[in-house]
Copies of this chain bind each other. A is one copy, B any other.
Amino acid sequence: MSGKNITAKQPAGKSSPFLSELTLDCVILGFHEDQLKVLLLRWRGTQEWSLPGGPIRKEESVDQAACRILKERTGLKDIFLQQFQLFGDVERYNRNEIKEKLKHLVEPEKWFERAVSVGYYALVDYPKVAPTPDAFTEECQWWGIDEIPSLLFDHNHLIKIALESLRIQLSWQPIGYKLLPEQFTLPELQRLYETILGRTLDPRNFQRKMLGLGILYRLETRRKGGAHKAPYLYRFNKQHYKAMLTKGSLFFS
């Protein structure tokens, strides 16, 4: 939420520039040092963390609002983002607890009466991100997906559902080339798949399947450093990758 968005916490009314019943939350994912990471915000004067998010302007589409918020938090435009679920329970979390924890930042009566939230996941090129807090927060930082603390609101639940959705969409969305750098090794690609699928894959089967799809170019160069024989670098044949995705062929059973 940017500085301007503080006004969105005022009670709903015709005069507010924001929708008053619908907000959005973003699960921004990056891949770094063989680990899937998520971007979290720490609220001012607290040790409380949450996902980035915010209200939707009346004159922008919900997707445009997600792009705007992502740009504010990461500095990036043209991010791959995907709605994954609407969170529409009446009591999504303990509202009184939230009001109490954040009362030094938001007057309790200024919270929305009931906020339905639409969840987006975004896949970003990790080194390109400049994590930036919003008006309510003082720190914006990557957390390893296995190290996430207890978050405000229902945000631990949102992350869980985002990952389940990502797993289903692994065969249908360009997840590999959105999360990996331009050049990568087969072990790095495998590690990404394993992280999302939540299980280990046999390296020989994985390589055979991936190379068999014809979506990878092998480069002449090898990854430098490391104890073992340096593995070759690859990059995606994006045209072929897209063609495979329309058939869902990147499926791993």
Instruction: Check if A56 sits within 8 Å of B86, measured CB to CB.
Output: no
On chain B, the residues within 8 Å of A116 by CB distance are 19, 22, 62
Instruction: Check if B61 sits within 8 Å of A88, measured CB to CB.
Output: yes
- With both beta carbons as reference points, the residue of chain B lying nearest to A66 in the complex is identified as B88
The stretch of A25-33, A41-49, A147-155, A243-251 in contact with B is A243-251
Interface membership of A90, Cβ < 8 A:
yes
Instruction: Check if A60 sits within 8 Å of B90, measured CB to CB.
Output: yes
The stretch of A101-109, A122-130, A168-176, A181-189 in contact with B is A168-176
Instruction: Check if A58 sits within 8 Å of B22, measured CB to CB.
Output: no
- With both beta carbons as reference points, the residue of chain B lying nearest to A91 in the complex is identified as B61
Write the nearest CB–CB distance from A162 to chain B, whole angstroms: 14
Number of interface residues of A (CB under 8 A): 32
Interface membership of A253, Cβ < 8 A:
yes
Instruction: Check if A248 sits within 8 Å of B168, measured CB to CB.
Output: yes
Quick one: which of A65, A83, A86 has the most chain B CB within 10 A? Answer: A86
Write the nearest CB–CB distance from A154 to chain B, whole angstroms: 13
Interface membership of A220, Cβ < 8 A:
no
On chain B, the residues within 8 Å of A90 by CB distance are 58-61
- With both beta carbons as reference points, the residue of chain B lying nearest to A20 in the complex is identified as B21
**A-B contact list, 22 entries, CB within 8 Å:** A19-B21, A19-B114, A19-B116, A20-B21, A21-B21, A21-B22, A56-B88, A58-B90, A58-B114, A59-B90, A62-B86, A62-B88, A62-B89, A86-B86, A86-B118, A88-B118, A168-B169, A168-B172, A168-B248, A171-B251, A247-B253, A248-B253
Known: A21-B21, A88-B118. 15 other contacts (CB 8 A): A19-B21, A19-B114, A19-B116, A56-B88, A59-B90, A61-B90, A62-B88, A62-B89, A63-B88, A65-B88, A83-B85, A86-B118, A168-B168, A251-B251, A251-B253
Rank and list the top 9 A-B pairs by shortest CB-CB distance, nearest first.
A62-B88, A61-B89, A21-B21, A251-B251, A249-B253, A86-B118, A19-B21, A168-B172, A61-B88
**Which of A's residues lie within 8 Å of B, judged by CB?**
12, 19-22, 56, 58-63, 65, 83, 85-86, 88-90, 113-114, 116, 118, 168-169, 171-172, 247-249, 251, 253
